[in-house]
């Protein structure tokens, strides 16, 4: 007889986060062996019965993104064929979320492809965090819970930034204006915006500040920091416009390429990221990085 309890499994992308979520729920992680054959094929063995159980599979879209996505799809399918009652894919950082629209001719909408793959593999429900574009929820024909890091960010600002009442919330681009205004409203602070002009992807040519940051603590808020070029330039622009200190708070710290060097060389006092993506190795190289733990948020959503 099944106990109709919940079973939590994790792939190889972020086992530390999965452990924290399981601890918070007072349960153990399910037994699963995920390995690669010598020809790089992914092999998954679920080590316990999931018949008629509520299964949650935690896998973040980071690191070796394609391998981790494939791992997730195979684990979902393995549970599906083992008669799990309901399968929820918990994806703290959604892979390919930036490819969510056809911005030039013949461009793929890869986020929609990932949504189709998850559905075909057998997922009944998806839980994710701070989607790059919230309309990605509409790519699915199954329920999607898009959780927000915002409450955790607000709490961090109030507890960790001294003199935060003399701060101003800044969005480094027009796309993040909604997120920044929402945080500014919650903290009853002013809001500023940086308009950036790009020459090509991942390369910004110039920045124009809209708003007054003179004599204030500037807090940059964004949904992901990849190469950190935008954050570094934005921080420089803010200091040139009279900001006293610059903090950056980001939902997903991808930190690829020269990101660590850019942050170390920049005027940013602290880069605060959530642990949707593992970054212990990056923290060792960059003392400016600080972490917000989002395991409690995920655990409560699962509960």
Are 71 and 170 within one domain?
no
- The answer as to whether 74 is a domain residue is yes
Are 107 and 192 within one domain?
no
For residues 8-45, b (16+ Cβ closer than 10 Å) or e, as one string? bbbbbbbeebbbbbbebbeeebbebebeeeeeeebebe
pLDDT exceeds 80 at position 281: yes
Are 179 and 268 within one domain?
yes
pTM of the shown model: 0.92
- The answer as to whether 131 is a domain residue is yes
The predicted pLDDT at position 175 comes to 84
The predicted pLDDT at position 1 comes to 41
Dist CA 22 CA 25 (whole Å) = 5
Do residues 223 and 182 lie in contact, with contact meaning Cβ atoms separated by under 8 Å? no
Domain that holds residue 37: 6-147
Are 97 and 178 within one domain?
no
Q: What are phi and psi of 223, to 5 degrees?
A: -90, -30
How many domains does the structure of the chain reveal? 2
pLDDT tens-place string over residues 48-57: 999 999 999 9
- The answer as to whether 298 is a domain residue is no
Q: What are phi and psi of 170, to 5 degrees?
A: -125, 135
Are 64 and 178 within one domain?
no
**Which of 288, 146, 154 lies closest to 219, judged by CA?**
154
Dist CA 141 CA 143 (whole Å) = 7
Are 29 and 51 within one domain?
yes
Are 26 and 131 within one domain?
yes
- The strand pairing partners of 189, in sequence order, are none
Dist CA 224 CA 59 (whole Å) = 18
pLDDT exceeds 80 at position 197: no
Are 256 and 280 within one domain?
yes
Q: pLDDT class for 256, splitting at 50, 70, 90?
A: very high
Are 31 and 104 within one domain?
yes
- The answer as to whether 237 is a domain residue is yes
The predicted pLDDT at position 56 comes to 97
- The answer as to whether 299 is a domain residue is no
Terminal-to-terminal C-alpha distance of the chain: 22
Residue count (the chain):
303
Are 256 and 211 within one domain?
yes
**Which of 135, 156, 153 lies closest to 144, judged by CA?**
135
| Mean of pLDDT over the chain | 93
What CATH code is carried by the domain that includes residue 161?
Answer: 3.40.50.2020
Are 119 and 154 within one domain?
no
Close Cβ partners of 141 (under 8 Å, ≥ 6 residues apart): 119
Out of 29-43, 188-202, 237-251, 266-280, which region has the weakest mean confidence (pLDDT)? 188-202
**Which of 234, 273, 256 lies closest to 149, judged by CA?**
273
- The answer as to whether 231 is a domain residue is yes
The predicted pLDDT at position 78 comes to 97
3-state secondary structure string across 45-78: EECCCCCCCEEEEECCCCCCHHHHHHHHHHHHHH
Query: Percent of the chain beyond pLDDT 90?
Result: 89
- The answer as to whether 276 is a domain residue is yes
For Cα atoms 155, 263, 240, give the angle at the middle one, nearest 5 degrees.
Answer: 85
pLDDT tens-place string over residues 131-150: 998 899 999 999 999 999 99
Given 105, 121, 147, the domain boundary residue is: 147
Give me the mean pLDDT over the 195-211 stretch.
78
The predicted pLDDT at position 3 comes to 53
pLDDT tens-place string over residues 205-238: 778 899 999 999 999 999 999 999 889 999 999 9
**Which of 259, 290, 279 lies closest to 63, judged by CA?**
279
Given 118, 147, 176, the domain boundary residue is: 147
Q: pLDDT class for 204, splitting at 50, 70, 90?
A: low
pLDDT tens-place string over residues 46-92: 999 999 999 999 999 998 999 999 999 999 999 999 999 999 999 99
Cβ-in-10-Å burial (0-12, 13-18, 19+) of 70 comes to middle
Are 169 and 190 within one domain?
yes
pLDDT tens-place string over residues 95-115: 999 999 998 999 999 999 999
Tell me the CB-side half-sphere exposure of residue 179, using CA atoms within 13 A.
27
- The answer as to whether 220 is a domain residue is yes
The predicted pLDDT at position 209 comes to 92
Query: Percent of the chain beyond pLDDT 70?
Result: 97
Q: From the CB of residue 201, how many other CB atoms can be counted at a distance below 10 Å?
A: 7
Given 97, 127, 147, the domain boundary residue is: 147
Do residues 249 and 156 lie in contact, with contact meaning Cβ atoms separated by under 8 Å? yes
């Amino acid at each position: 007889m099944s106990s109709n309890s919940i079973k939590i499994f994790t792939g190889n992308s972020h086992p530390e986060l999965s452990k924290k979520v399981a601890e918070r729920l007072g349960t153990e992680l399910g037994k699963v062996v995920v390995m690669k054959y010598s020809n790089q094929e992914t092999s998954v063995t679920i080590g316990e019965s999931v018949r008629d159980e509520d299964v949650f599979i935690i896998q973040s879209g980071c690191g070796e993104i394609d391998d981790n996505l494939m791992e997730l799809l195979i684990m979902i399918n393995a549970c599906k064929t083992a008669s799990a009652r309901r399968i929820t894919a918990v994806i703290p950082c959604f892979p390919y979320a930036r490819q969510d629209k056809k911005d030039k001719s013949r461009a793929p909408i890869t986020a929609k492809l990932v949504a189709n793959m998850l559905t075909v593999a057998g997922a009944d429900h998806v839980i994710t965090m701070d989607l790059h574009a919230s309309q990605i929820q509409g790519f699915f024909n199954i329920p999607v819970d898009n959780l927000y890091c915002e409450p955790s960010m607000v709490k961090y600002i109030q507890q960790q930034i001294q003199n935060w009442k003399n701060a101003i919330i800044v969005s480094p681009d027009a796309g993040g204006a909604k997120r920044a205004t929402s945080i500014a409203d919650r903290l009853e602070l002013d809001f500023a915006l940086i308009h950036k002009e790009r020459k090509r992807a991942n390369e910004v040519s110039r920045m124009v500040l809209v708003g007054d940051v003179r004599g204030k603590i500037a807090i940059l808020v964004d949904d992901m920091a990849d190469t950190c070029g935008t954050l570094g330039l934005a921080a420089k622009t803010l200091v040139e416009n009279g900001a006293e200190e610059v903090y950056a708070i980001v939902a997903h710290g991808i930190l690829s390429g020269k990101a660590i060097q850019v942050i170390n060389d920049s005027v940013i006092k602290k880069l605060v990221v959530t642990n949707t993506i593992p970054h212990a190795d990056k923290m060792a190289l960059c003392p400016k990085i600080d972490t917000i733990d989002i395991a409690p948020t995920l655990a409560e959503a699962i509960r």
